[in-house]
Chain A
Amino acid sequence: MSEDPKQRRWRNPIARWGRNDSPDELPIQEWQDPLQPWRENRAYKVRLFRIGHFRYYWKFRGHGSRLWHRTRWWPTRRRILLLRGGYNPKTLRAEKTISDKRPVYWIMAFALMAIMPFLVPQNLTNTLLSAAAIFAIYAAINLCWMLVIGTAGIYSLATYSVVGAAAYGTAYLSIQFGMPWWSLPFFGTFIGLVFGVLIAIPAVRLDGFYYALLTLGLNELCRVYVLQSRTFGSATGGLYGAETYIPQQWSSEHQLMLGYYASVVVMIMALSLYRLVDGRRLGRILRMAPEKREAFAEACGVNYRRARIQVFLISSTGLGAIGGFYAAHFRGASPSLFGIELVSLGLAMLVIGGMRRAEGVVLGTLIVVLVRDGLVTWGPIRLILIGIIMLAAVLFLRGGLFGIKPQFRAWRDKKKSENRSTRAEKGGEMLPEESTECRDKDQVYFRRFDKMQRDFLKTLVCDEVIEEHRRQPLGQHSEALERLLLYFRRQPQRDKYAIQAIEPFKAYRIVALSGHRGVAPREVEEKTYPSQAAAYHGVFLRRVQDLLET
């Protein structure tokens, strides 16, 4: 044995009792902390993302009956805000949480819209105010469109042509017969209704792309008709000169402001129409019977055809009214309303913000109109920019900008479960699926602990320990050897090694216990050992071997 001064040595605690069968001192390995694998295993190794990990809710105080008090829209039972009352499980403080914060954000957005004209810089007032009015009108159109394309799931591309037809019709009435401006939305409503009936008839019979392509064709038909018809101003590039609600004697700034506020009012009306249809019975029926699930809906007793015709008529009526307002706002209409470019831009507005969400439609419209009418000096590049945003939204986002949050959550959960399954190591620990199947949950924890313990014990096996055991299989041992032996002795009876005396003090053999009463142990090797101690050491070596192999 080398006498290295740095080598750690173990002192036999019972050496001074004068036993001569055990050594006083032994060289041993560096001490290792048995808790180390436990700490390593318990450490949280998943990469954490800084954003979106927790949902933060501001907790409002609620005291006594205030906790359960709800403000409702009179005379309905609908609540103004969805509040959740409860007690903090740790502090038992009564607290209220707003579980749906969207109304708050909407009100903030409306407030911003109300003060917007006073915030913009003076030199940009003209551009921004007219762009904002266009934004509000387009947002209103898109909201009505969304009733058909989002709620009912029918890809109708003839929306802008309904608006265009109403705008042209009312402008014509106003120019020819001098109708006042306030009557234009009503006439527009009528024209829209007629148009709605016309486009609703094929919608009942056709589906999917056939309908989309047909409506695209109708759009083009209207465009060509308007471009060639002398009544509708083919010579002047549009029909202009309708009555307007904007007093002409006002200064241009005030005119712009009036136009802006009137358009915002139209947008708010369209929002309430969307809410009324989408959030109530009709919307639920339509969402229950989307394309390819009509048979199921019909079997449930839903008359989806009637619902579709209803939504077409409602949306076309709304679009017609907006068309009348359009004619009164812009004092006429232009053939660009029927252009395929406007249809593409409209699709871009829906796709960028996110379909089936009012806030998505409004945000998408805002982005597209800001780029298109705010950066007029850029020429065609701004439309290319819109196209690139739209393409990116289609390729990467499932539900537009407002769908990013749920999409990110779904992606993160997928990654989490992938990581979890790779993290579960083989050899003792149960996989997540296995552990949910296992009835005895103690087994899950026991196997996890056992794995950690074996990992630790493997590090203890070294030449010194084996040499120590060879010299003295029984008696006082160093800590490392004692830990190994305790672990080996604690193993279950089944397949546990034992020694069998073939001839006492002469020949011993290693056997493995069966673990069952009345079943004889089986022989594991041919070799015989001359003494009991040698046989003990043979068993120890086999167990160390088995430990290192797991």
Chain B
Amino acid sequence: MDWGIIAVDALQLACIYGTLAVGISITWSSLGLINLAYGFVFAAGGYGAWLAAEHLSEHGIAVMSAGILTGALFGIVVWALAFLPIHDKPNFTMRGMIATVAISLIGNQTLMWYFGPRAKALPEIFGYAQVEYAGIVLTANTAGTVASSIVLLGVVLWWMKSSRRGLEIRAMMMNPHAASLVGIGVRRTGLYVMALTGALAGLASVLLSQVYYVSPFAGTTPLIKGLAIALCGGLGSIAGALIAAVILAVNEAITAATIGGQYVLITQFGLIILIILIRPRGIAGILDRAREA
């Protein structure tokens, strides 16, 4: 068993899943919306990147920024359809979730209808270079994925910590009612959050498409894994999401290397159920302080 490969795989997966899970976690804690259309935003970001690669340029930065922008755009679409009309109506949490399910149904089928079921391949945006160090082969792809997701996540976290808008978002994560009382616009902040998380999904989509392909339903598995990680880390906690991403990525890499790829989800969910049963609100979640809808 090669621990080096496992470590590299785990790192790469942790970066991608962490990006997704942080997005889901921020959405839930600031807007109170479980975004099940995240898979659709993910797939749409992939298609945006593919269109850019087809029609504009195959340059890595162009492809990646196209994916990120498309993701942000569709995040705003989800905001306009599922958050804006009903966020102050009764039973918003459930209705919002079902609205995002509807959006994802519509969106995925539209992608299917427009682009067809055939998967599209993105260009290798990080090139083909390889570095070998102490028996570990580090491809440009892995390095690029890790670097770009860490950079983007770092930028997002720094922005959330230091900027005015980030302060607003954090205030809304702590107490949405009090935030609106001190003059933070719930709708406007929701717009920033959805655009931001959409951009994260777009980035994750471009990164994951280096390994897999872009297809109408490519978002389903990342959505479920992202949700599971966000859940496991405690909805609303960025640190918890990152810890959970690392734990689950390590588990996935070890399972894939030892038992076999088809058992990944089984061990994954066994682990998640175990964690959830021990800590019902996730790793970093505290039972009393969790967002009450």
A209–B276 Cα gap in the complex (Å)?
A: 12
* One of B67-75, B199-207, B261-269 contacting the partner: B261-269
**A394 and B99 within 8 A (CB):** yes
**B227 and A213 within 8 A (CB):** yes
A212-B97, A348-B102, A394-B98 known; A340+B220 contact, CB < 8 A? yes
Distance of A51 from chain B, by nearest CB (Å): 24
Q: Is B90 an interface residue (CB 8 A)?
A: yes
A220-B224, A384-B110, A395-B99 known; A209+B269 contact, CB < 8 A? no
| Residues on A with beta carbons closer than 8 Å to the beta carbon of B220 | 220, 340
Q: Is A388 an interface residue (CB 8 A)?
A: yes
Choice from B86, B224, B269, B273 contacting A395 with Cβ under 8 Å: B86
A351-382 at interface with B (beta carbon < 8 Å): 351, 379-381
**A391 and B99 within 8 A (CB):** yes
A390-B102, A391-B99, A391-B102 known; A398+B224 contact, CB < 8 A? no
A351-B98, A384-B109 known; A217+B269 contact, CB < 8 A? yes
A207–B221 Cα gap in the complex (Å)?
A: 23
| Residues on B with beta carbons closer than 8 Å to the beta carbon of A213 | 34, 227-228, 231
* A195-238 contact mask (Cβ, 8 Å, vs B): 1 or 0: 00000011001111110111011101100110011000000000
A228-B262, A383-B105 known; A209+B34 contact, CB < 8 A? yes
A344-B101, A391-B106 known; A381+B269 contact, CB < 8 A? no
Give the size range of B's interface with the partner: 35 or more
Give the size range of A's interface with the partner: 35 or more
| Residues on B with beta carbons closer than 8 Å to the beta carbon of A344 | 101-102, 104-105
A206–B110 Cα gap in the complex (Å)?
A: 35
Choice from B93, B105, B106, B276 contacting A214 with Cβ under 8 Å: B276
| Residues on B with beta carbons closer than 8 Å to the beta carbon of A212 | 34, 97
**B105 and A386 within 8 A (CB):** yes
**B99 and A214 within 8 A (CB):** no
**A202 and B277 within 8 A (CB):** yes
A388–B109 Cα gap in the complex (Å)?
A: 11
Distance of A160 from chain B, by nearest CB (Å): 14
A224-B265, A351-B98, A394-B98 known; A387+B103 contact, CB < 8 A? yes
Distance of B99 from chain A, by nearest CB (Å): 5
**B266 and A205 within 8 A (CB):** no
* B104-122 contact mask (Cβ, 8 Å, vs A): 1 or 0: 1110011011000000000
Distance of B58 from chain A, by nearest CB (Å): 29
**B269 and A221 within 8 A (CB):** yes
A549–B102 Cα gap in the complex (Å)?
A: 60
Which residue in chain B gives the minimum CB-CB distance to A216? B224
Which of B28, B94, B112 gathers most chain A CB within 10 Å? B94
Distance of B154 from chain A, by nearest CB (Å): 27
Which residue in chain B gives the minimum CB-CB distance to A379? B113
**B280 and A205 within 8 A (CB):** yes
Which residue in chain B gives the minimum CB-CB distance to A383? B109
| Residues on B with beta carbons closer than 8 Å to the beta carbon of A220 | 220-221, 224, 265
| Residues on B with beta carbons closer than 8 Å to the beta carbon of A347 | 98, 101
Distance of A466 from chain B, by nearest CB (Å): 58
Which residue in chain B gives the minimum CB-CB distance to A343? B101
Q: Is A497 an interface residue (CB 8 A)?
A: no
Distance of A399 from chain B, by nearest CB (Å): 10
Which residue in chain A gives the minimum CB-CB distance to B270? A221
Distance of A481 from chain B, by nearest CB (Å): 59
Which of B105, B106, B220, B262 gathers most chain A CB within 10 Å? B105
Distance of B45 from chain A, by nearest CB (Å): 19
B23-73 at interface with A (beta carbon < 8 Å): 28, 34
| Residues on A with beta carbons closer than 8 Å to the beta carbon of B231 | 209-210, 213-214
**B99 and A216 within 8 A (CB):** no
* A268-312 contact mask (Cβ, 8 Å, vs B): 1 or 0: 000000000000000000000000100000000000000000000
A391–B100 Cα gap in the complex (Å)?
A: 8
Q: Is B239 an interface residue (CB 8 A)?
A: no
| Residues on B with beta carbons closer than 8 Å to the beta carbon of A341 | 105
| Residues on B with beta carbons closer than 8 Å to the beta carbon of A186 | none
| Residues on B with beta carbons closer than 8 Å to the beta carbon of A348 | 101-102, 105
A379-B113, A394-B95 known; A209+B235 contact, CB < 8 A? yes
**A391 and B94 within 8 A (CB):** no
A155–B113 Cα gap in the complex (Å)?
A: 31
A377-416 at interface with B (beta carbon < 8 Å): 379-381, 383-384, 386-388, 390-391, 394-395, 398
Q: Is B85 an interface residue (CB 8 A)?
A: yes
A217–B223 Cα gap in the complex (Å)?
A: 10
**A221 and B266 within 8 A (CB):** yes
A348–B227 Cα gap in the complex (Å)?
A: 21
A209–B277 Cα gap in the complex (Å)?
A: 14
A210-B281, A217-B224 known; A202+B276 contact, CB < 8 A? yes
Q: Is B272 an interface residue (CB 8 A)?
A: yes
Which residue in chain A gives the minimum CB-CB distance to B231? A213
**B221 and A387 within 8 A (CB):** no
Which of A207, A225, A394 gathers most chain B CB within 10 Å? A394
Which residue in chain B gives the minimum CB-CB distance to A206? B280
A395–B269 Cα gap in the complex (Å)?
A: 33
Q: Is B155 an interface residue (CB 8 A)?
A: no
Q: Is B286 an interface residue (CB 8 A)?
A: no
A202-B277, A228-B262, A395-B85 known; A390+B221 contact, CB < 8 A? no
A155–B95 Cα gap in the complex (Å)?
A: 12
Q: A201-B277, A395-B95 are in contact. List 13 more A-B contacts (CB 8 A).
A: A202-B276, A202-B277, A205-B280, A213-B34, A213-B228, A221-B266, A345-B105, A348-B102, A379-B113, A380-B113, A381-B109, A384-B106, A394-B102
Q: Please, could you name 7 A-B residue pairs with CB atoms under 8 Å apart, sorted by A?
A: A155-B94, A205-B280, A208-B93, A214-B276, A221-B269, A340-B220, A391-B99
List residues of A whose CB falls within 8 A of some B CB: 155, 201-202, 205-210, 212-214, 216-218, 220-221, 224-225, 228-229, 292, 340-341, 343-345, 347-348, 351, 379-381, 383-384, 386-388, 390-391, 394-395, 398
Top 10 closest pairs, chain A to chain B, by CB: A387-B106, A387-B105, A380-B113, A391-B102, A228-B262, A390-B102, A380-B109, A383-B109, A394-B99, A380-B112
